[in-house]
Amino acid sequence: MLKVKISVIRKAEYKDLMEQYENPIEHACDLQIGQVFVSSDAQKPNGFCDSAWSSIFPFVLTLACGGGNFYDGWMKNEKSAMISCNDGFRPVSFLLEAID
């Protein structure tokens, strides 16, 4: 299996949606822009968010198994994907790249 590099590219925060719909929480996301993780054998890296992992895992697994070219040419690099976590209030965008 290939390793997959997971880079935190962007974080958004929708305060208007949070104020309207979310119950206040003390702790949300610890990920930082520029942070890099490496998945070996399609396993969740230590310290990686469980919820975000649920969103990106199918793409990590496909890349780790040598697949790619998602959605018929969506990415310039067919061995990569740009995937966001499923947090509708503060989504994080990840660049996934298969590496040797």
At 87 the pLDDT is 94
Task: Tell me the Ramachandran region of residue 47: left when phi exceeds 0, alpha when psi lies from -120 to 50, beta otherwise.
Answer: left
Domain extent, residue 65, equals 3-99
At 27 the pLDDT is 81
pLDDT in tens, 34-65: 999 999 999 999 999 999 999 999 999 999 99
Structural domains counted in the chain: 1
At 26 the pLDDT is 81
> Phi first, then psi: what are they for 67, rounded to 5°?
-85, -175
At 100 the pLDDT is 82
